[in-house]
Chain A
Amino acid sequence: MTLWLVLFLMTAAAIFAVLWPLSRHGAVRRSGSDIAVYRDQLAEIERDLAAGLIGAAEAEAARVEVSRRLLAAAGTSGVHAQGVDRPRALWHRRVAALAALVLMPAGAAVLYLMLGSPFLAGAPFAGRQDVPFEQRSIESMVAQVESHLEKNPQDGRGWEVLAPVYMRLGRFEDAVKARRNAVRLLGATPAREADLGEALAAAANGIVTAEAKAAFDRALAGDRDNVKAQYFAGLAAEQDGRAADAARIWRTLLQTAPVNAGYRTLIEDSLARVDSGAAAPNPGADDIAAAESLSPKQRAEFVRGMVERLAARLKSDGSDAEAWLRLVRAYLVLGEAEQARSAARDARNAVAGDAEKIKRLDDGLRRLGIEG
């Protein structure tokens, strides 16, 4: 309501600015004229002459010139100086007043209602600090903790609180940073190492990278029974193509797990996956069956063959962005960073025409740690 009152008063002031001068009937207003300028120029010539800045002959010539201008100006000044106040001129003012009274408020209202947001309250920063805790969005709380950490980057507890929130928001890179800081500032514990490894794996789109693996190993070295580290150690084995190892690790984990543990399902599902045999680069079931019966060395070659087949297929038809991501990930798992990068490049060229796919590809690649 206050807003409308203020806007009304502003409009009134604007109308007044038009009506007020219209009401001044022929009031005397300041007005200069060229005659005054030329008079002054003449005076200046005299001053310069008296000061010896110009010679007498020059002064005379200048005087003649200025006088000529003065005469010309005096001749026309009657025409140009002022208008006259004529009664019939009243209609001008009526039109002008009408414009001010009607057109201006109407125009202002229309334009403002088109452009403005009168129903939106202001939200100054200071006023929003007091918003009750429950009513704040996660983002705003994160922002607040972030700005706190910005000023106190040595606050390890803050990082530790923030990290799971990042994980939930899908900001895995930030989560990695936060976990690292927590480990650095609060000291390494098996739990923190495992959390760090989890964040690293999440940031790599679910791949247990060498770095993540190292973190889980450190966690297991400190605490052989750390559930998270064990689970991911199994996942690492699966992704390395050592399905039997993965199965063994997860079976052990299941045996030691409490009957009502929430993670049982996850591990059972994982176990079912390796037991039915799904290897890293997402091959067909037949391939897996074949792979089961091979020696580790043969298996590695087999996996390589699958990857090559996938690469060949994509070379002839490269429109499937997800397949490309799978290929890149497979190379990464095989530890062939250079191949992965070149596959990423080929992928970009292949889907170049399709903005949507480029975006999906770039997002995926970024998550795999290959910058776009």
Chain B
Amino acid sequence: MIAEIGHYALVLALLLAFIQGVLPIAGVRLRDNALAGTGEPLAIAQFCFVALSFAALTACYVTSDFSVFNVFQNSHSAMPLLYKFTSVWGNHEGSMLLWVLILAFFGALVALFGGNLPAALRASVLGVQAWIAISFLLFVLLTSNPFVRLAPAPFEGRDLNPLLQDIGLALHPPFLYLGYVGFSIAFAFAVAALIEGRIDAAWARWVRPWTLAAWIFLTLGIALGSYWAYYELGWGGWWFWDPVENASFLPWLSGTALLHSAVVMEKREALKVWTILLAILTFSLSLVGTFLVRSGVLTSVHAFATDPARGVFILTILIVFIGGALALYAWRAPLLRQGGVFAPISREGALVFNNLFLTVACATVFIGTLYPLALEALTGDKISVGAPFFNATFIPLALPLLFAMPFGPLLAWKRGDLYGAAQRLIAAFAIAILVGAATAALTKGGAILAPFAIGLAVFVMAGALTDVVERAQLFRQPWPVAWRRLVGLPRSAFGTALAHFALGVTLIGIVCESYFTAERISTIRPGDTVAISGYEISFDGLVARQGPNYREVSGKLIVRRNGDVVGMLTPGKRTFPARGNSTSEAALLTRGFSQIYVSLGDPNPDGSAAMRIYHKPMVLLIWLGALLMAGGGLLSLSDRRLRVGAPKPAKKTALQPAQ
């Protein structure tokens, strides 16, 4: 019965979305308050029904109700409870339901916390949001229905793909979707504004917190996905330029550009046309990502769905929404008034520079991701575009951006003083040179590029600190004054500095991981010792173990440094009989920000085993940087300036949360 309740709730949500797609916008057109006001209760109701539906599916998973085809295919009664939860979205149908749930969630958030928006804009945004909801609810119900039933119910399920039986999976897709789908709000804002034909600085102020929230989630989602791939796939890599990874990276790049251009629009009412376009493009890239992953056109780690009907359906959604929005844009955008003027060297100029490089970099990644598909469609040749392509195109475009980054915040609006900014960055530059030189000295004979890259990362970090120091005038004013100024700085200033600093942190991690990783691949017999980067790792032998729904053979390795035991590693190989396949469980030993990484190959009959052993210096900084970046975003989001604009009855302000 629970499954049927969930199914019906989804149907009701679809019909509510139909009504929500018509009434509020009609209300705005007809100037009817009551009609326009239907948007909020409808959005909340739609969310409640989708949530009910999702809860029902979760209940089916938790109780292992194999009369639901989706549960039968992706679950197993012996699976640990946690994975019964996570396998709800560890498959195509369930993850699309999660997608729709998050879409409805954002709609409900706008309804609940969009009090600072003019009623007409809010109504239009909710209306546009409902159109997206309609198309995806139809997609789920008609092509990817998780509530299809089986009669009679099979006794046992087929188990979840073991690669996905992992806590990384539990968190990665929800965060990623919160990011992807969060950009739908920016899209809805853009389309609503184009329909209304009125776009001004206030619009940017309203759209910024939503964009920022989506960006934070997307950042976390990508970082989680990268860490999951790092330790679960057993290759020690953290980014493969896999099309699915690119699919999440594309909206991140354009979303980052959108964040920055919206600042210009809010402050100076410039770049209006561009910002609206970016808002449309960012969500379009989210849709493209959904299409790439969900239609099965790609061959990759994530391809767990292959069904042409779905591909065509999403493609249609894609064309309708992107095409429709762009047509509306082409029609309406020329009507927009010119905004404020600025000199090329200015804060605006710097942000344009940022946008230019981010979008061009985004375009190269887009080409690299879709070129193989296009080529195959046109000529039938099958090619793969791998890391070398992206390294050769993305990195040269990222470097100028990183180098320019510390300058941006130091330039004044309208007309900046590049020379003055450079002077203030001298200290940062000196530190960067010193650290770069020290790196070069310490790693003599190593890669030539590494010290430069480290220097650049340090420059980015020191530059971010310089920004804060300069604003507070830390070393120019007496301490008490400087302290007061520091405390008085808006939180968004700290947020910006933290996020920029974090990018430097990530960069250090990336450079160290790529240039200084030590690797040993060899067959090791029990009792053998392998030396790597000053550690001695000795192999104690293999142990077999029975897990809840798998068998595991794991190696036991003792890690010593200068004779002292610093830890134990137990890389394993799990065999899942229900699906007849196996996974490697890499073992990690964290020392500071560095890690020793061991993954087990095939054990031999004589008790020896092939192993990959890596020492990855500073590797954790990659994800720590991403966390800090998200933290910077959160700090900015908590800035009161992003929330004002609503009439302020005292009791209401408490209700205006981070979104």
Complex interface bits, A26-42 against B, C-beta within 8 A gives 1, otherwise 0? 11011111101110110
Does A261 reach chain B (CB closer than 8 Å)?
no
Task: Determine which of A62, A80, A104, A124 lies in contact with B198 in the assembled complex, contact meaning CB atoms within 8 Å.
Answer: A80
| B313 is an interface residue with CB less than 8 A from chain A | no
**Contact for A52 among B16, B19, B485, B652, CB less than 8 A:** B485
The yes or no answer to B393 lying at the interface (CB within 8 A) is no
Nearest chain A CB to B19's CB is how many angstroms away?
A: 6
B646 within 8 A of A: yes
Q: How far is the CB of B494 from chain A (nearest CB, A)?
A: 13
Indicate if B156 sits at the interface (CB-CB under 8 A): yes
> For residue B485, which residues in chain A have a CB less than 8 angstroms away from its CB?
51-52
Is A310 among interface residues, defined by CB-CB distance under 8 A?
Answer: no
Contact indicator B202/A73 (Cβ below 8 Å): yes
Contact across chains for A29 and B8 when beta carbons are under 8 A apart: no
Of A114-122, A215-223, A266-274, the segment with at least 4 beta carbons within 8 Å of chain B is: A114-122
Given contacts A104-B15, A115-B141, contact A128 B155 (CB under 8 A): yes
Closest residue of chain B to A117, judged by CB? B149
B21-56, CB under 8 A of A: which get 1 and which 0? 001001110111111111011101100010010000
A7 interface residue (CB < 8 Å to B): yes
Query: Which of B59-67, B98-106, B286-294, B597-605 touches A?
Result: B59-67
Contacting chain A: which of B113-121, B224-232, B610-618, B624-632? B113-121
Residues A120 and B8 in contact in the complex (CB < 8 Å), given A69-B200, A104-B16:
no
A133 at the interface (CB under 8 A from B): no
Minimum Cβ distance to chain A for residue B450 (Å): 38
**B540 an interface residue at 8 Å Cβ cutoff?**
no
Q: Does A78 touch B at the CB level, under 8 Å?
A: no
**How many Å from the CB of A137 to the closest CB on chain B?**
7
Q: Given known contacts A20-B41, A99-B19, A100-B19, is B3 in contact with A112 (CB within 8 Å)?
A: no
Main secondary structure of the interface of A (DSSP, over half): helix
In the complex, are the beta carbons of B41 and A17 less than 8 A apart? Answer: yes
B383 at the interface (CB under 8 A from A): no
Task: Write the nearest CB–CB distance from B254 to chain A, whole angstroms.
Answer: 25
> Do B4 and A117 have beta carbons less than 8 Å apart?
yes
Q: Quick one: given A30-B652, A104-B16, are A7 and B5 in contact (CB under 8 Å)?
A: yes
Q: Tell me whether B647 and A31 are in contact (CB under 8 A).
A: yes
Assuming the A-B contacts A13-B45, A51-B485, are A150 and B120 also in contact, with contact meaning beta carbons closer than 8 angstroms in the complex? no
Q: Which residues on B sit within 8 Å (CB–CB) of A18?
A: 16, 19, 23, 38, 41-42
Contacting residues, chain A, for B41 (C-beta < 8 A): 17-18, 20-21
Report whether A36 and B546 are in contact in the complex, using a CB–CB cutoff of 8 Å. Answer: no
Residues of B close to A116: CB separation below 8 A:
4, 7-8, 11, 147
Q: How far is the CA of A117 from the CA of B150 in the complex (A)?
A: 9
B11-A30 in contact (CB<8A) = no
A143 to B119, CA, bound (A): 59
Assuming the contacts A21-B41, A37-B645, asked whether A10 and B115 have C-beta atoms less than 8 A apart, the reply is no
Q: Tell me whether B375 is interfacial, beta carbon within 8 Å.
A: no
Contact A21 B34 (CB under 8 A): yes
Distance to closest chain A CB from B122 (angstroms): 8
Residues from chain A with Cβ under 8 Å of B65 in the complex: 122-125
Give the distance to chain B from A297, nearest Cβ to Cβ, in Å. Answer: 40
Which one of A82-90, A157-165, A203-211, A249-257 contacts B? Answer: A82-90
Nearest Cβ distance between residue A225 and chain B, in whole angstroms? 37
- Given A29-B37, A80-B120, A116-B147: A125 in contact with B63 (beta carbons within 8 A): yes
> Is A319 interfacial (CB-CB < 8 Å)?
no
Query: How many B residues have CB within 8 A of the partner chain?
Result: 88
Q: For chain A, residues 27 to 78, give those with C-beta under 8 angstroms from any C-beta of chain B.
A: 27, 29-34, 36-38, 40-41, 44, 51-54, 58, 61-62, 65, 69, 72-73, 76
Contact B37 A24 (CB under 8 A): yes
Does A25 interact with chain B (Cβ within 8 Å)?
Answer: yes
Measured between beta carbons, the chain A residues less than 8 angstroms from B7 are 112, 115-116
Chain A residues whose C-beta falls within 8 Å of the C-beta of B8 in the assembled complex: 7, 10, 108, 112, 116
| Residue among A36, A73, A112, A128 making CB contact with B200, cutoff 8 Å | A73
- Given A22-B35, A82-B119, A143-B14 contact (CB < 8 Å): no
Q: Which of A37, A96, A137 contacts B205 (CB 8 A)?
A: A37
Q: How far is the CA of A83 from the CA of B31 in the complex (A)?
A: 4
In the complex, whether A168 has a CB less than 8 A from a CB of chain B is no
CB–CB B67/A151 < 8 A: no
The answer to whether the Cβ of B145 comes within 8 Å of any Cβ in the partner chain is: yes
In the complex, which residues of chain A have a beta carbon less than 8 angstroms from the beta carbon of B420? none
In contact, B12 and A10 (Cβ under 8 angstroms): yes
**CA–CA, A34 and B647, complex, Å:** 11
- Taken together as a complex, chains A and B put the C-alpha atoms of A24 and B36 apart, in Å, by 11
Question: Once the chains bind, are A65 and B646 in contact (CB under 8 Å)?
Answer: no
A81 at the interface (CB under 8 A from B): yes
- The B146-182 residues at the A interface (CB cut-off 8 A) are 147, 149, 151, 153-156
Beta-carbon contact of A84 and B31 below 8 Å: yes
How many Å lie between the Cα of A61 and that of B201 in the bound state?
Answer: 16
Give CA–CA (A150, B577) in the complex, Å.
Answer: 8
Residues from chain B with a CB closer than 8 A to the CB of A112 are 7-8, 11
A107 sits at the interface (CB 8 A):
yes
Q: Does A153 contact B (CB under 8 A)?
A: yes
List of A residues within 8 angstroms of B646 by Cβ: 30, 32, 36
In the complex formed, the residue of A with least CB distance to B63 is A124
Is the C-beta of B471 less than 8 angstroms from some C-beta in chain A?
yes
* Docked complex Cα distance between A27 and B471 (Å): 46
Q: How far is the CA of A158 from the CA of B393 in the complex (A)?
A: 60
- CA distance in complex: A57, B616 (Å): 52
Quick check: B19 and A128 within 8 Å, CB to CB?
no
Chain A residues within 8 Å of B, Cβ to Cβ? 2-3, 6-7, 10-11, 13-14, 17-18, 20-27, 29-34, 36-38, 40-41, 44, 51-54, 58, 61-62, 65, 69, 72-73, 76, 80-86, 89, 92-93, 96, 99-100, 103-104, 107-108, 111-112, 115-118, 120-126, 128, 136-137, 139-140, 143-144, 146-147, 150-151, 153
Additional A-B contacts beyond A17-B45, A21-B37, A93-B34 (12; CB < 8 A)? A10-B5, A29-B33, A31-B117, A31-B118, A40-B641, A65-B340, A82-B120, A104-B19, A108-B11, A115-B147, A139-B155, A153-B546
13 A-B interface contacts by CB (under 8 A): A21-B37, A32-B117, A34-B203, A36-B647, A37-B644, A53-B471, A92-B32, A93-B35, A117-B4, A122-B3, A122-B67, A124-B63, A125-B65
- B residues in contact (CB < 8 Å) with A: 1-5, 7-9, 11-12, 14-16, 18-19, 23, 26-28, 30-38, 40-42, 44-45, 49, 52, 60, 63-67, 77-78, 115-120, 122, 141, 145, 147, 149, 151, 153-156, 196, 198, 200-203, 205-206, 268-269, 340, 412-414, 471, 473, 485, 488-489, 546, 549, 551, 577, 641, 644-647, 652
The 4 tightest CB contacts between A and B, nearest first, are A83-B31, A125-B64, A34-B202, A17-B45
